Amino acid sequence: MIPYTPETVLIVDDSPENLMVLSEILKPFYKVKVATGGAKALNLIASGDIPDLILLDIMMPDISGYDVCKKLKNDPMTRNIPIIFVTALSDYTNEEEGLHLGAVDYITKPVNSSIVLARVNTQITLLRNQHNLEQKLQERTEEIVLTRMEVIRQLGRAAEFKDNETGTHILRMSAYAKLIAQKIGLDNARTELIYLSAPMHDIGKIGTPDAVLQKPGPLTPEEWEVIRKHPKQGADIIGNHHSLLLQTARVVSLTHHERFDGTGYPNGIKGYDIPLAGRIVAIADVFDALTSKRPYKDAWSIERAVEYLLAQKGKHFDGELVDTFLQHMDEIQAIMMQFKD
Amino acid sequence: MNQPLNGSADSQKRLCHTLKSVAAMLGMTYLTQLSREAELSVHPISRENPLIENIDNEIERLGLLINAMPEEASVADSVLISSAILDKLLLKLRNADATAYDDATILQNASDKELVHVYELIQRFEFDEAARLIEHLLHKENT
């Protein structure tokens, strides 16, 4: 039997008294996390600590609950987290605005412990049922799932083909991305989203002229400009669909060349503003590029690639993700062995 | 234990949980065991349940022991705040884990003023600041 792990509820409120009251109500039944403001909550979630449910205050001094909600609903990794607004505001318009943003429920302060528990329990029960259904559906549709994975990989390969890369790059880098996602504690569904969308990271290179992509010598600044268009081209190719997988693939394509210090492209966003999926794939992609042989370079030793990753913590990469990745060297080597060129 | 028995099943369960945490933190092993049993029992627990009587007796026994202690030696002072305890607390704070709030009770009467400050920060849920201060204290201890 799989051991039971209680679901995680994140409470976000700038008042310590409210945090105390709400956490005391929920602690006996759930794993409770707390944040004293919107920015702290967003940072916690961006680091990969994704809760199953959020109780969110609206009026907070740094970022309002509405803005926290909007930001989470904008990222395919976090858009499915149910949010319950907990607030002293109780007029009809506020409730409507919250629900319009995608909140699942509304609780007004002062809170009543039985109501809080009942509302939270309802959402968690819904979540559990949804997980069970998804699992059953996946078992029943195994062949479709496998076909989908193959199609995605072949699409990814098509782009890599143009870039002198072998098909195994896609296999290794997506396996590294999956490893990082698992080790930071993402649930199976989110890990799978990252694993399946990682192969599509360079799909925009389909739109990059061969003359630039396969040029043997160094690129001119103009040619670099052309190369730098591929994340956006990829996002355009993938399009804007309702499917969480395609949304994640779009995010990955658009953000896998952003750098943690803000010096990447195409948008120069930095830190936790870069979506988690993009930060994970950046490490997986570069690590495999470094340790693989390319027409213009030999394969780096693992030690040299590790040194590079460590030196780029906080510059190119999210340092915490690098640390997590490198803690699992055995599994990294097993992936290398499994998908040799 | 008598008063909360009038409360709802949930509030009873919560009380048993809190009692278990506090007892465990203070090293009261038998009381921890009893309150764990009570927490896991079907609620509401009847007042006649022998478990409740056992918990009352144990609290009374511990109360007598504490009262018999010399006044100048408070319980908290006699608890050695080891770096292992601080490491564990640090991990919880970094994970925004709400149970850090309960665990911090052990620092409330610490003789080290900085640890008392850590306690105060945690009571205000300023977990990041508390974590930074603990890191600083642990670093100081190592050097």
For residue A258, which of A240, A276, A242, A244 has the smallest C-alpha distance?
Answer: A276
Q: How far is CA A269 from the centre of its chain?
A: 15
Q: How many residues does chain B have?
A: 143
| Residue ranges in chain A modelled with pLDDT below 70 | 1-4, 89-93, 164-166
Phi, psi at residue A36, to the nearest 5°? -90, 10
C-alpha dihedral over A333, A334, A335, A339, to 10 degrees? 110
Model confidence over A5-43: pLDDT tens digits? 899 999 999 999 999 999 999 999 999 999 999 999 999
Residue indicated by tokens 């390969």: A157
Name the nearest CA neighbour of A23 among A89, A95, A116: A116
Percent of chain A with pLDDT over 70: 96
The pLDDT assigned to A87 comes to 82
Chain B contacts to A (CB-CB under 8 A): 8, 10-11, 13-14, 17-18, 39, 95-99, 101, 123-128
What's the rounded Cα separation, in Å, for the pair B18 and A109? 24
Which residue of B11, B101, B123 is in closest CB contact with A113?
Answer: B11
Closest Cα in chain A to B92: A33
DSSP A110: S
**Angle, alpha carbons B141-B142-B143 (nearest 5°):** 95
Q: Which of B12, B32, B29 is nearest to B21 (CA)?
A: B32
Could you say which DSSP state residue A209 is in? -
The per-residue pLDDT for range B32-46, each reduced to its tens digit, is 888 888 888 877 787
The answer to whether A27 contacts B98, with C-beta atoms less than 8 Å apart, is: yes
- ipTM value, please give it: 0.77
| Contact call for B125 and A114, based on CB within 8 A | no
Residue with tokens 């609206």: A58
Mean pLDDT over residues B21-35, rounded? 77
pLDDT of residue B6: 58
Inter-chain residue contact B99 with A32, CB threshold 8 Å:
yes
B124 CB-contact burial (10 Å; exposed 0-12 / middle 13-18 / buried 19+):
middle
Identify which of B54-58, B74-78, B93-97 has the greatest average pLDDT: B93-97
Task: Assess contact for A24 and A54: CB atoms under 8 A.
Answer: no
> Which range is least confidently modeled, A89-103, B72-86, B126-140?
B72-86
